[in-house]
């Protein structure tokens, strides 16, 4: 249980894709890094998706996480926006998998409930709890904070699965 596992959490987005990396050792968490990938909006869709792939690949190769976690997206925008977000999410799911990482997916409500205790928490509550759970975490965007929350959610649920497997 005490083995350290490095987890990258990813908040998919075509305009702003947040990423955050934590280390988990049992129930102890520590902040590693976080940031946002923001492909230029004036570029062709294919180039923006390529940018997501290249930058996310570079981050994974640089920080060497063992596992990845991606938020399931809830979209109530127009069909075109939903399609673009779906394409970005596809790249975000495929990139860590192509680099050999197992990928977990988590609903936004589960992430919020895991971090704040309520599935309907707002961005400010999430950011406050991420700072509380990861002292020293520095993030410049809500997307990066959300990505750290996704990584924390994965660490909590991952630990629960390990405990369940050990008791059987």
Q: Which residues are catalytic?
A: 11, 71, 143
Distance from chain centroid for Cα 15: 15
CA distance 79 to 46: 18
Q: Is residue 164 exposed (0-12), middle (13-18) or buried (19+ Cβ within 10 Å)?
A: exposed
The neighbouring-strand residues paired with 70 are: 10, 105
Provide the edge-to-edge strand list for the sheet that holds 103-106. Answer: 28-37, 17-25, 4-11, 67-71, 103-106
What tokens appear for 140 in the block? 């410049």
Cα gap 117→100, rounded to integer Å: 32
């Amino acid at each position: 249980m005490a083995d350290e596992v490095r987890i990258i959490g990813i908040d998919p987005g075509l305009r702003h894709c947040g990423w955050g990396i934590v280390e988990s050792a049992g129930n102890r968490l520590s902040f590693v890094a976080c940031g946002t990938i923001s492909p230029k909006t004036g570029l062709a869709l294919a180039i923006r998706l390529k940018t997501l792939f290249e930058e996310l690949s570079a981050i994974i190769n640089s920080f060497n996480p063992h596992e990845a976690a991606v938020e399931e997206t809830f979209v109530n925008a127009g069909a075109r926006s939903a399609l673009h977000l779906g394409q970005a999410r596809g790249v975000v799911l495929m990139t860590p998998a192509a680099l050999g990482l197992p990928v977990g997916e988590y609903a936004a409500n589960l992430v919020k409930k895991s971090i704040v205790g309520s599935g309907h928490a707002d961005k400010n509550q999430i950011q406050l709890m991420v700072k509380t759970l990861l002292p020293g975490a520095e993030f410049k965007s809500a997307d990066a904070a959300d990505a750290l929350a996704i990584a924390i959610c994965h660490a909590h649920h991952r630990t629960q699965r390990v405990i369940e497997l050990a008791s059987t």
